[in-house]
A and B are shown apart, each in its own frame.
Chain A
Amino acid sequence: MSKVVAGLKYSAEHEWVAVDGDGPVGIGISAVAADALGDIVYVDLPEVGSTVTAGETCGEVESTKSVSDLYSPVTGEVTEINDAVVSDPALINNEPYGAGWLFKVATTEEGPLMSAEEYAATNGGEL
């Protein structure tokens, strides 16, 4: 079963959000989503300095088998993107909660987010 990491918050669209004090939040996709997509070969991320809106698409993740929109789980300005996953998208499959993070946002508002327990229970993940 796909892993769900405790301590992170999760959106219904399978993004995770790592809140670190008052700084920008880190965002990635859950192992549930990465496993369902299969081997990811291309990722399109929002630009640094652009504004993303909770619940709206801000990029896409493409695997050999399918393509999926990336929904921002929060509203705010993008402060940083992970260049490593752009050049090596397999990082998202291998370490979805670590080296496979996608972008950071200086959040003004959070969308509806779940706890790890709630997300795991509703999406068949393993905590």
Chain B
Amino acid sequence: MSENYTALYEQHKKAGASFTDFGGWQMPLKYESELAEHHAVRKTAGLFDLSHMGEVWVTGPDAAAFLDYALVGKLSAVAVGKAKYSLICNADGGIIDDLISYRRPTPEEGVDKYLVIPNAGNAKVVAAELLERAAGFDVVVEDSSAETSLIAVQGPNAEAILLTLVPAEQHALVTELKYYAAVEVSVNGQDLLLARTGYTGEDGFEIYVPNIDAAGLWEALLEVGEGHGLIPAGLAARDSLRLEAGMPLYGNELSRHVNAYAAGLGPVVSLAKESNFIGRDALTAIKAAGVGSTLGQKLVGLKGAGRRAARAHYSVLKDGSLIGEVTSGQPSPTLGYPIALAYVDVEHSEPGTIVDVDLRGKAEPFEVVGLPFYKRVK
């Protein structure tokens, strides 16, 4: 796999980051301490480089109808300025990727515009898949991943930090911006797309910026954020934060071999929408069969009774028999006990059920618990 570097690579190097490959990208794993970065996002704020994520624009008279066909959700029902979490699935219901789509305003009557955000490792596949599915629709699919950087400010102080770079007359646009919505505002003197979204379980923003301007924005945010406890945070903290928030990670919880109902994402699938969509027949049958409720396996949260953590691919046991597999797991920095996500047979998926996880040869008890593990107090 080729090695890609974001426009902020030099900033990360200067800050002493250690790097890891993620989806073909050399990304900062951590700067100094991933625990300190995790706690900063929960208590003050963290700054993330998410430029490895893809950006695919879908524009045209048929854009809404096209996304209703290409994705499992009803994207035509999303209001301009709002966003929706959805899945792109195969005809067999397997998940190609999970993604967020933003509906954007257009100057032209009758033309719709969406920004679709696939995961790093799936960006090219999703762009190609959308292009292929676009046959017969009056839309233009444009992959701008290579030119676009994405910077996230996450944590309780995110709004205050961002406001220092936004002119006073636009402050209300930021303070009144709802979760899962986006707006064009002037940030650091430049009109940029600002979304109130994230993958941490905290309040926060994601800012789309052309590569050429990314370093300037990154440094400006770090400078104004210093007094607000903002520190750069790497993928290690991002992973522990999303796990506490009970959010799935493509490649761990989601894959082409998993369907939405087993993954607990049934509500994301709109079987009620009138138009056809790829995966509809398979997903209708999967739901009717009771997968994820009375049949097969289901994604659950596990809470460790001891101090040793379950890790991805560890076996889940009940009375010594294999009933599932851990997909993500680690000690929770915020909660202080081990947490994990696992697929287990539905008959053992009720919260309160005690199961064992094989921790390198020793079975340790874990309790099935509801998700998320951590929810911020608003």
Contact = CB atoms under 8 A, between A and B. Distances in A.
Interface stretch (B44-52, B283-291, B307-315): B307-315
Contacts of B18: 35
B308 A42 contact: yes
B35 interface: yes
Contacts of B309: 42, 62, 67
Interface string B330-343: 11010000000000
Nearest to A36: B18
B236 interface: yes
B330 A39 contact: no
B34 interface: yes
Contact of B331 (A35, A44, A64, A93): A64
Contact of A39 (B33, B307, B308, B311): B33
Nearest to A41: B331
A77 B155 CA distance: 49
B240 interface: yes
Interface in A80-94: 90, 93
Question: Chain B CB within 10 Å — which of A35, A39, A42, A66 has the most?
Answer: A39
Given A38-B34, A39-B34, A39-B35, A64 B311 contact: no
B307 A65 contact: no
A12 B169 CA distance: 61
Interface in B299-338: 307-309, 311, 330-331, 333
B34 A65 contact: yes
Interface string A110-127: 000000000000000000
Contacts of B30: 38
A64 B240 contact: yes
A42 B333 contact: no
A42 B34 CA distance: 15
Contact of A64 (B34, B307, B308, B360): B34
Contacts of B331: 41-42, 62, 64
Contacts of B311: 66-67
A38 B240 CA distance: 13
B interface, over-half SS: mixed
Interface string A55-81: 000001010111100000000000000
Given A38-B30, A42-B307, A42-B308, A65 B330 contact: yes
A7 B278 CA distance: 66
Contacts of A44: 308
Contacts of A42: 307-309, 331
A62 B308 contact: yes
B315 to A, nearest CB: 15
B121 to A, nearest CB: 19
Contacts of A67: 308-309, 311, 360
B238 to A, nearest CB: 12
Contacts of B35: 39, 41, 64, 90
A90 B330 CA distance: 16
A92 B33 CA distance: 13
A35 B34 CA distance: 11
B307 to A, nearest CB: 5
B113 to A, nearest CB: 39
A93 B236 CA distance: 16
Contacts of A60: 360
Question: Which 7 pairs across A and B sit closest by C-beta, in order of nearness?
Answer: A39-B35, A41-B331, A42-B307, A39-B33, A38-B34, A64-B330, A65-B236
Interface of A: 35, 38-39, 41-42, 44, 60, 62, 64-67, 90, 93
30 contacts: A35-B18, A38-B30, A38-B33, A38-B34, A38-B236, A39-B33, A39-B34, A39-B35, A41-B35, A41-B331, A42-B307, A42-B309, A42-B331, A44-B308, A60-B360, A62-B308, A62-B309, A62-B331, A64-B34, A64-B236, A64-B240, A64-B331, A64-B333, A65-B34, A65-B236, A65-B330, A66-B311, A67-B308, A67-B309, A67-B311
